[in-house]
Amino acid sequence: MYYPETMKFINADTGWVGGKALSNKMGLVARTVDGGKSWRVSEVPGTLEIQSLDFVDGSIGWAVGFDIHKTVDGGRTWTRESVDPPVFTRVYNLDRQHGWAGGVNSTFFRRPALPAP
């Protein structure tokens, strides 16, 4: 069983849902490219749940569930970003140059700008 926590669509067809698997307490992200008719689920290693996610385009995005994880392949695979302390619960990207994460105890992080595509 999958429990969704957050959702982000960049257009009518492409979107993601983040949450957790109740059976093994693993963070998961599901991706659709057909407006929600079908979904592909990916595990986010080392997380208990995904509380927030956001994308700057169809490939690059971040998911948080205390740690910050980044994808560069549309959510197929995820890698942990090295940020301490890992207490982030929300993430937001305005564009390739501006992105932030926030969490418990008034913890905030501004990510570095991305290189031009």
What is the DSSP pairing of strand 40-44 with strand 52-55? unpaired
The predicted model scores a pTM of 0.85
Domain boundaries of the chain, sorted by first residue: 2-96
Handedness of CA 18, 21, 27, 33 (dihedral sign): negative
Q: Is the peptide bond before 85 cis (omega within 30 degrees of 0)?
A: yes
Q: What is the pLDDT of residue 1?
A: 57
Residue-by-residue pLDDT tens, the chain, 117 positions: 577 889 999 999 999 999 988 777 788 999 999 999 999 999 898 888 899 999 999 999 999 988 889 999 999 999 988 777 678 888 998 888 898 888 887 788 888 888 877
In this predicted structure, what is the pLDDT of residue 24?
Answer: 74
CATH number of the 2-96 domain: 2.40.10.500
What's the token pair of residue 7? Answer: 């959702």
Contact predicate 20/30, CB 8 Å: no
